[in-house]
Structure 1
Amino acid sequence: MSDSDFPFSYHVRRSQRALRMRIVVTQAKVEVVAPTQVSEQRIHQFVQSKQEWIVLTLAKIADSRQHYKNSAPAFYGHGAEIPYQGEMVKLIVRPTRLKRIKIEFSREFIAYIPEALLAGEYSDELKEALIKWMKKNSKLHVEQLVHRHAAKRQLFPRTIIMKTQRSRWGSCGIHNDIHINWLLMLAPLEVMEYVVVHELCHIQIKNHSSYFWALVAEHLPDYQQQRHWLRKHGHRIMMGL
């Protein structure tokens, strides 16, 4: 299991008193309490089986606190701030005679809202339009990143698929199809690049040996910085828009 798969880090505490494995999630950390004889592989598998619950629990903890820097707005309207590529970007609303909401981006998000919608509540429709825009543009960003890195070691994926997931950033299938979570659009572009490179390197090396990490470093010498960012902020990004 790779760190790009887990949007959190965890600590293992061995206990002679423990009869079975359990997971403790707090604001400060995710801790796995395990009997002394349980192997690291079994612990990883256990965390994998519980990762959706862990992500949801971390999200609830974060949501119960004050709004953090990259939080989504409570209402999607003129002047709201939208998390995008590690920053908060202002949302501008303009009327249009079009029948559907149109999203543009140029330093700020510009949402063209049909006049009929402006007369009432349009927050939910605008949110869905932004999500649709981000999904579409995430594919373009990933394709550009693949183009930047793939040729160096002939790491060409068969297909690129953008997915909505709450417990995984990316994966590489046995036939070299790579799946990338579109929610990475909320993270800095360098973080998305790390996940893309991580999955491209799995085309050549299917495990997480030292050879694999050396290949990642060949493409991204500072990958550890982006890996750390995901560990620290990943569960918040998973909360989405």
Structure 2
Amino acid sequence: MPFSYQIRRSQRATQTRIIVTPGKVEVVAPVKVAEHKIHQFVQSKQQWIVQAMDKIAAKTHQHKTLAPTVYGHGADIPYQGESYKLAVRPTKLKRIKIEFSREFIAHVPDALMIQDHSAEIKDALIRWMKKESKIQVEQLVNRHAERKQLFPQTIKIKTQKSRWGSCGIHNDININWLLIIAPPEVLEYVVVHELCHIKVRNHSAHFWALVAEHLPDYQSRRHWLKKHGGSLMMGL
């Protein structure tokens, strides 16, 4: 076959399914399904997989990353639907410290200033944005959860390449940290979307009515994510 794929066994899976994401084909199968049956299933879906890979490749080509190519002084950093300048300043600290106040400030240790520190600044920005994501998601949960008793068991910020959020069977909420790059109302939509799954596990009319009770304009937020999600997924 003109592609490779990975098999992942899942206790929760009731049937074999295929997930195609940029650069990856994953087959999720129930624990008890024989491996040769899985390979037969993939062979039967070969044409669909190739078409899905071509479609994703075309979409990826259309989207441009929102992130700079080099993380240096004057670079434009995407955050909450806007673009902010990055200022690089030397510091006596042992590791890079990120601050934000109308611009991003990277306090870079003197030892790093004399060498290429773009990758280190990028890593520090990602750490900062993950922490900020957790703070903002918790604030949004506090804003919306009590109204319909939609209280999550846990809230986790994840690095994900194929989904924006999820709600587990025990009401554990997972949110993709990349949403911190999107406008705040988009992050709010995804948080509300996953909270509503605590009460309604499917995407029925009842589910969308519940989302609309919290966010009457959810469709415009959802449309933004569909239109710009490809660029957002490319990350920093």
Q: Same fold (TM over 0.5)?
A: yes
Residue deviations 1:53-109 (CA, integer Å, cap 9, x gap): x3x6533x036xxxx5x6211110110001111111110111111010000011110
Q: What is the correspondence of 1:16-31 to structure 2 with a 5 Å cutoff?
A: 21=48, 23=51
Aligned-residue Cα RMSD (Å) equals 2.2
Tell me how many residue pairs correspond in the alignment.
Answer: 193
Which residue number corresponds to residue 58 of structure 1?
59
Residue deviations 1:174-230 (CA, integer Å, cap 9, x gap): 110010000101111100000000000000011111111000000000000010001
**SS in structure 2 of the partner of residue 204 of structure 1:** coil
Which residue number corresponds to residue 7 of structure 2?
none
Give the distance between the partners of 1:20 and 1:72, measured in 2 at CA: 34
Cα 1:113–1:208 shift into 2, 3 Å: same
Give the distance between the partners of 1:98 and 1:176, measured in 2 at CA: 40
Contact preservation (8 Å) 1:25, 1:58: no
Q: What is the correspondence of 1:125-140 to structure 2 with a 5 Å cutoff?
A: 125-140=120-135
Give the letter aligned to residue 62 of structure 2.
Answer: A
Give the distance between the partners of 2:76 and 2:48, measured in 1 at CA: 42
Structure 1 residue ranges, 4+ long, deviating more than 6 angstroms after superposition: none
Give the letter aligned to residue 58 of structure 1.
Answer: K
Which residue number corresponds to residue 109 of structure 2?
114
Which residue number corresponds to residue 175 of structure 2?
180
Give the distance between the partners of 1:77 and 1:174, measured in 2 at CA: 43
Which residue number corresponds to residue 202 of structure 2?
207
Which residue number corresponds to residue 10 of structure 1?
none
Q: Percent identity?
A: 65
Displacement of 1:131 after TM fit? 0.5
Residue deviations 1:159-187 (CA, integer Å, cap 9, x gap): 00110001000000011001000010111
Give the letter aligned to residue 125 of structure 1.
Answer: E
Which residue number corresponds to residue 165 of structure 1?
160
Give the distance between the partners of 2:214 and 2:170, measured in 1 at CA: 22
Which residue number corresponds to residue 88 of structure 2?
93
Give the distance between the partners of 1:220 and 1:233, measured in 2 at CA: 20
In structure 2, stretches of 5+ residues that fail to align are 1-19, 22-45
Greater relative CO, 1 or 2 (CA 8 Å, sep 6+)? 1
Displacement of 1:24 after TM fit? 5.5
**SS in structure 1 of the partner of residue 139 of structure 2:** helix
Q: What is the correspondence of 1:30-45 to structure 2 with a 5 Å cutoff?
A: none
Displacement of 1:116 after TM fit? 1.0
Give the distance between the partners of 2:89 and 2:48, measured in 1 at CA: 54
Provide TM-score, normalisation by structure 2: 0.77
